[in-house]
Structure 1
């Protein structure tokens, strides 16, 4: 989770401007109730850890806005104050397949003290990078550019250019072509993969045809924010409108907390649609009273709800026909479901004041029908030296099917509105999650031996499976076959059959894979992972493993207990 350091002097300055007293003791006592972990809170600096669901707290300025509502009970303003500007930005049609979402905003008249300029620029850049991580998913979904408005001449135009186009990128003194930037510039090396496969590249130019940005890679050198910068132009580009819009509003909000005035930019998108951004109007949410009362375990009055949601930066509108109307800021990217609104009200009201209760339903437990089988599977896996893990049930087509060469079983259960391209469906196999785990743990020594006993979703029905992987320099097919034989022995099966698996069926290396059947029922398969499959997960070590159907194992092998 991201950690930010905020100078107490900045918080004190913003609080005084709004007529509040900045009390460090009160801050240390109450801020954790908002859902942040304080690492340190002394007279000089506040170090806090921000949970991923609150990207609106990733700068000192936007955190100060939340503190005023939550601790000082300032009247919340879910609308972002935006005045209509005169600057326009036009996107060429060819950007539809390159970088389709492009937004802009202007902030003028930011007020800075001479002593604060360096720390402000550092915090602005730090906020930008944290948003790239939290909302932009490493600049995939959204990337942000902040420019000195005085150094560029509107109107702006976004167009696609060849890799031979040259300009002077940030932190460089000489012009470089786009191809050279992608190959040699530090930022180009880091993010070149986002533009793999493109022959044309997006650039933002002003009316003088000067390149001010090459998104999502680097800005032009001449637009660098400096000590004299007081007027800013912000561009946000990407593939996801919600991520881009939230990023734009949060950067603009940070500057407005410093006294800046936000102006809208008229954006003509690649399809000819015209819109003014940022759109500061709050989002209206409807929350059924039944859900609120049921989850909280008590009924709150309208006044209690109003106070609670105000502390969270929102506004209570009305209660009509069993439904509550609330307004929340548009930059609250995390508000996706009724449960999110209930959580906001619970935090604003205070969990300590929700009361206590006892369960109304009988809670007598009974053993699962497959409990003994699961216990024997875990005992066997642990006996083989494997560590149990639990990976995400959400996955994507590449991990589940394209990389693994697995075929979908029945219909795939997909997420209607996925937050990230990495989590677009419910998994059908466990092995991809184990490969992802090994990929993120390459800094640890070999061997690495893991297994998972978990649920997958096939044809919209839950199924249980078990899989294991072993990454080791020695071993191979003989080693994994020995593990599978020991596993089947531990389950009490002696009449299983091991047969050759057809080449190309699953992630297994041709000629080094097999399937396991019991009484004619296919229960699983095992083998060495094909190096081409492993490379899709950035793995370069020999890996072997297996995956079994728990349902078929339970059917084919009788319970000896």
Structure 2
């Protein structure tokens, strides 16, 4: 039942398992003793749906889809002047991590499950959209342990000193890098800043270090189950990604605030003096007008039905104007909506791809496979069944490949010559498939014998009577109904030598066009 629900929603349920089953498969039943029997659902989430990477977003999306709850309305709270938090970005960050955004989750209530999900979402975002913290690094802090305004700057490693998360004493930034050089988790991020003359760092107004992005947070601001106010900062090299990550973090967990689905804005002051309020789009979301097309409504019923389908996909919609326009609210959770085709795709998912009736297009022709291609596919199957491996070689080759190495003068090949070849390997269009196959064998000389290869592809010739250099007395021409369609035989020793081969080769080359 859940598998069907996932499919209807555009997801795929990969596996239903448990921690015990996973350990048992990897390390044996003995090691699995004591492991949890809790059922785990492994769901394949599309790469652009960051809102489905945590249980909160997934459950909310499915409930809206099933019309069990209404789409939540996210609200951005802007504090009175002088009462809100500020994050000041200095010019020293410009060459390292120039961008920063921030927000506050006020009066939040954590349980162990909520806390674990909160941390897990950060890690998933770090590995996906944040590109292993290269583009964005997320810092979450207990706001009640620090005092704003906060400063995002960069200093020499020797000038930065604080107690890292879950450590018992203070270290300089250089010592911190040495400390985590062998850490199985954090060592993968050290290269992002270790060769820089300055390291990024965030301080509060009393000089307390919040974090040294993208490596580690300070222990002083560590959040716990008792944390009531969370300060979230995202620093990085890509401001667009940073905004998306901040939106996802606050929209997923603002549900647990005293006033659900509210987020407190933070003012970010840039080095040039300009200020921005973040998060940007959490107040109302962006509006998009979709001009309904006849083909779309014929497939998905009426504009009002289309609006209902989109609302089920968390894209609140209603019909406007003369009934042929849809006004769609893009929530901050849906950063993947960047074009009208993304909206149409969501409508099709909600409608159900299996419910779309198959119809013959209203055209004057019906497509069919070319006879030559049909025969080609049949030949490929039979040759593969006979134990041959198909090769796909370049259509261009050197003059030497089709002439000197085959014991033929280039003028006799009547080959099509490239006027301005970029390399010596691509001077002419091949007049035979033989050089490509022989070069493939030459590149695989160390493989166990026999090597049985075939290729069915196009050649380019000016004269259909162009010859091949085979071993005298060990070659034959193939005729079908009185017409020559190919040759077979043993390749001449001179040809073998010129392709740097040491074993004899036999070749059958057939022109299949006369059979069509």
TM-score higher than 0.5 here? yes
TM-score range (shorter-chain normalised) is: 0.5 to 0.7
**Aligned 8 A contact 2:210 2:221 in 1:** yes
Counting only pairs closer than 5 Å after superposition, residues 359-378 of structure 1 correspond to structure 2 as 359-361=361-363, 362-367=365-370
What 5-or-longer segments of structure 2 have no aligned partner?
Answer: 19-37, 416-420, 437-456, 465-509
| TM-score, normalization by structure 2 | 0.66
- Which residue number in structure 1 is paired with residue 344 of structure 2? 342
Structure 1 position 194 matched with structure 2 position 187: no
- Could you tell me how far apart the structure 2 residues matched to 1:193 and 1:556 are? 57
Match of 2:306 in 1: 305
How far off its partner does 1:302 sit? 2.9
The size of the alignment, in residue pairs, is 399
- Determine the structure 2 residue equivalent to 1:154: 148
For the residue of structure 1 that corresponds to 2:366, the secondary structure is: coil
- Conserved in 2, the CA contact under 8 Å of 1:182 and 1:188? no
Provide, for residues 297-335 of structure 1, a one-character-per-residue CA deviation record: whole Å limited to 9, x for no partner: 525323212211111111114444754331111231211
- Give the structure 2 partner of residue 143 of structure 1: 137
Q: TM-score, normalised by structure 1?
A: 0.61
Listed as ranges, the matches of 1:378-393 within 5 Å are: none
CA contact (8 A) 2:177 2:194 kept: no
Work out which of the residue numbers 145, 152, 164 in structure 2 matches 1:169: 164
Does the Cα contact within 8 Å between 1:266 and 1:277 map onto a contact in 2?
yes
Cα deviation, residue 156, structure 1: 0.7
Query: What is the Cα deviation at residue 128 of structure 1?
Result: 0.6
1:31 is aligned to 2:32 = no
Deviation at 1:294, TM superposition (A): 3.6
Hey, what does 1:427 align to over in structure 2? none
Asked if structure 2 preserves the Cα contact closer than 8 Å seen for 1:496 and 1:517, the reply is: no
CA distance in 1, matches of 2:198, 2:157: 7
Q: CA deviation at 1:379?
A: 12
CA contact (8 A) 2:147 2:204 kept: yes
Please list every run of 5 or more consecutive structure 1 residues that lacks an aligned counterpart in the other structure.
Answer: 1-24, 389-450, 454-464, 468-480, 498-504, 507-512, 526-550
Aligned-residue CA RMSD (Å): 4.4
Separation (CA, whole Å) in 2 of partners of 1:308 and 1:198:
51
CA offsets, 1:126-174, max 9 Å, x none? Answer: 1111111221122222221111112221111100111222222123222
Q: Deviations over 1:27-63 (max 9, x none)?
A: 5542331122223399965442322121101111122
Q: CA deviation at 1:176?
A: 2.4
Instruction: Determine helix, strand or coil for the equivalent of 1:143.
Output: strand
Q: Secondary structure at the match of 1:237?
A: strand
Please give the secondary structure, in 2, of the residue aligned with 1:204: strand
Matched position secondary structure for 2:256? coil
Which residue matches 1:515? 425
Given the alignment of the two structures, is residue 60 of structure 1 paired with residue 60 of structure 2, yes or no?
no
Distance 1:381 1:269, change over 3 A: farther
8 A Cα contact 1:317 1:327, kept in partner? no
Q: CA 1:41–1:305 in 2, change beyond 3 Å: closer, same or farther? A: farther
Q: What is the alpha-carbon distance in structure 1 between the residues aligned to residue 56 and residue 115 of structure 2?
A: 13
Q: Which residue of 1 aligns with 2:291?
A: 288
Structure 1 residues 557 and 235: CA distance shift in structure 2, 3 A? farther
Change (3 A) 1:554 1:91: farther
CA gap of 1:99–1:359, structure 2 versus 1, over 3 A, is: same
Separation in structure 1 between the aligned mates of residue 146 and residue 385 of structure 2, nearest angstrom: 64
1:284 deviation in Å? Answer: 1.6
- Cα pair distance change 1:380/1:210, threshold 3 Å: farther
Distance in 2 between the 1:232 and 1:377 partners? 63
Alpha-carbon spacing, 1:210–1:372, altered in 2? closer, same or farther (3 Å): farther
Aligned to 1:40: 16
SS in 2 for 1:515: coil
Q: Is the 8 A contact 1:496 1:516 kept in 2?
A: no
- Aligned pair 1:241/2:242, yes or no? no
